[in-house]
């Protein structure tokens, strides 16, 4: 099998050992870089708070994410103002769960799709920190929207567990599945794969939620409120664990990472 140019380059580099820099020169260079970086006008101080760091990352978030979140917020406001919310409305709102969950994943994938991860890895914050901050920023927006919808639904219908069942639970399940794909397929995961997964979740979820809705109306699922809240706690824990694991996988160990070009 004929080797590609990239493989030939790797073989050539493997035959030549990288030079070992002198510890004194390496320490001096690091000190000089740090001093110059701190003297720049846009540089953050070493003891900058987390909110300051998050605010600095806002301009780097994909601009199309904010209109989608605003659209979902407006959808909640318009549909949940009704005194009675039917099955069709709840099923429609359940689609917002996978939609909101895919937003932070799409922003992370952009770095790999545009081959920007190498540049971001060399910035003041490594790629692991950038990923964590972007997850915090976009995830906080998603959580705010869900809390707003839950409060609006609870104020009108006094049944927040229903909102958790039809909207929050699909959001958490979708987040866990998207994060699993990112962890499992790493750089090979793309927006098309996540979109196909989200579409499948919407189809399967709508069918299952319709069946559950009819069973609730007949009074045959009296245990569903307690089950819903337990599931929300369980999947919230799983989503946080998956997000931490994703950021951990981005950290280089012994010069090798599963998120490199291999």
Q: Going residue by residue through the chain (262 aa), what tens digit of pLDDT does each one get?
A: 455 777 777 777 777 777 777 888 888 888 887 777 666 655 555 567 778 888 888 888 888 999 999 999 998 888 877 766 788 888 888 999 999 999 999 888 877 666 555 555 555 566 778 888 889 999 999 999 999 988 888 877 667 888 899 999 999 999 999 999 988 887 778 888 999 999 999 999 888 888 888 888 887 777 888 888 999 999 999 999 999 988 887 765 434 444 443 3
CA-based nearest residue to 56, from 118, 119, 133, 2: 133
CA atoms within 13 A on the CB side of 79: 21
Whether the Cβ atoms of residue 182 and residue 245 lie closer than 8 Å to each other: no
Could you tell me which residues come within 8 angstroms of residue 207 by beta carbon, excluding any fewer than 6 positions away?
Answer: none
Q: Are 166 and 153 in contact (CB under 8 A)?
A: no
What confidence score (pLDDT) does residue 201 get? 92
Residue count of the chain, please give it: 262
pLDDT, residue 141, reads: 92
The 3-state DSSP class for residue 253 equals strand
CA distance 242 to 132: 12
Cα–Cα distance measured from residue 232 to residue 164, given in angstroms and rounded to the nearest whole number: 7
Model confidence, pTM: 0.75
Q: How far apart are CA 52 and CA 144, in angstroms?
A: 20
Residue 102: name the closest of 205, 196, 195 by CA: 195
């Amino acid at each position: 099998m004929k080797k590609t140019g990239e493989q030939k380059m790797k073989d050539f580099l493997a035959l030549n050992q990288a030079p070992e820099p002198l510890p004194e020169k390496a320490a001096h260079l690091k000190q000089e870089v740090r001093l110059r970086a701190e003297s720049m006008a846009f540089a953050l101080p070493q003891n900058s708070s987390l909110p300051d760091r998050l605010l600095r990352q806002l301009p780097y978030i994909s601009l199309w994410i904010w209109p989608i979140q605003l659209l979902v917020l407006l959808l909640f406001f318009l549909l949940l103002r009704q005194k009675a919310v039917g099955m069709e409305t709840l099923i429609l709102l359940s689609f917002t769960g996978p939609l909101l969950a895919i937003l932070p994943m799409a922003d992370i994938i952009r770095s790999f799709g545009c081959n920007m991860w190498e540049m971001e890895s060399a910035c003041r914050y490594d790629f692991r920190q950038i990923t964590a901050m972007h997850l915090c920023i976009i995830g906080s927006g998603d959580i705010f929207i869900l809390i707003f919808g839950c409060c609006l639904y609870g104020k009108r219908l006094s049944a927040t567990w229903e909102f958790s069942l039809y909207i929050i639970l699909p959001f958490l399940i979708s987040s866990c599945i998207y994060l699993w794909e990112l962890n499992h397929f790493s750089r090979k995961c793309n927006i098309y794969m996540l979109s196909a997964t989200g579409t499948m979740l919407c189809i399967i979820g709508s069918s299952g939620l319709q069946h559950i809705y009819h069973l609730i109306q007949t009074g045959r699922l009296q245990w569903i409120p307690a089950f819903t809240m337990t599931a929300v706690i369980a999947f919230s824990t799983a989503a946080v664990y998956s997000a931490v694991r994703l950021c951990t996988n981005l950290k280089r160990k012994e010069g090798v990472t599963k998120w490199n070009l291999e």
